[in-house]
Copies of this chain bind each other. A is one copy, B any other.
Amino acid sequence: MGELYVVGIGPGAADEMTLRAAETLRHAEVIAGYQGYIDLIRPLFPDKEFISTPMRGETERCRLLLAEALGGKHAAMVCSGDAGVYGMTGLLYELAEGTGLEINVVPGVTAALSGAALLGAPLGHDFAVISLSDLLTPWETIEKRLDHAAAGDLCIALYNPASMKRKDHLSRACEIILRHASPETVCGAARNIARPEESFCLMTLKELQDYQADMFTTVFIGNSQTRVIDGRMVTPRGYTERNK
């Protein structure tokens, strides 16, 4: 039996992966992933065998790679961001259940962290990460989570704020959060993180409601203490910090 690694490669630039992730891929014989990520890493590891499938073909991609690992290969699945956060790790565990194959997970910088770094320090205190995609989750569950995250005054990082099918997810999310948070709450959006066209902007929660996010956007909603400092979004770690 071979070995299976699930590797988070961070946001869209190869130097955002960890040294351990790079070393793991260097030792792999076959690497699988969404076509876009394979294109990103292929120049770094030109001699590998690659398996790529389109965005939605995740289960098929996992099955193909599992077969390689069970057949004796040193196999690696690459995920954008982290390997576990909305990543392939859970699905690989489910599909490999009972086979005896050991799965090794190499964590990576998820968009909540890389987007936050671009914006300043929006996640400097307790936070929630919530996806607005209702492909695999009922929208009612998403609404409940948004409501509780806002009621708990958690900073929030929103993944998948917009999709092709439903354009109003972000606006509806803001409406729910506005039940508990001030319309002046500091918010921000990070786009195309770690790519040449990377950008960010700050706005209020009220403004966020009309913001046109796309599928390359990660959205950040501050807590009641978040403020703008020199054009960045900063959530202090605690109530006495500035007086220490």
Contacts of A137 in B (CB 8 A): 125-126, 238-239
Range class of the A interface residue count: 35 or more
A106 nearest CB neighbor, chain B only: B117
**CB of A7, distance to nearest CB on chain B (Å):** 10
Q: Mark A214-244, 1 if CB is under 8 A from B, else 0.
A: 0000000000000001101011111111101
Q: How far is the CA of A9 from the CA of B19 in the complex (A)?
A: 11
Q: How far is the CA of A173 from the CA of B105 in the complex (A)?
A: 28
Q: How far is the CA of A152 from the CA of B144 in the complex (A)?
A: 6
Q: Are A151 and B148 interface neighbours, CB within 8 A?
A: yes
Identical copies in the complex:
2
The yes or no answer to A113 lying at the interface (CB within 8 A) is: yes
Q: Are B18 and A15 interface neighbours, CB within 8 A?
A: yes
The yes or no answer to A196 lying at the interface (CB within 8 A) is: no
Contacts of A70 in B (CB 8 A): none
A-B contact pairs, 21 of them (CB 8 A): A16-B107, A17-B18, A58-B244, A86-B237, A89-B117, A89-B120, A89-B124, A90-B121, A91-B236, A93-B234, A94-B234, A94-B242, A103-B232, A107-B117, A125-B131, A126-B130, A126-B137, A129-B129, A136-B240, A141-B153, A145-B154
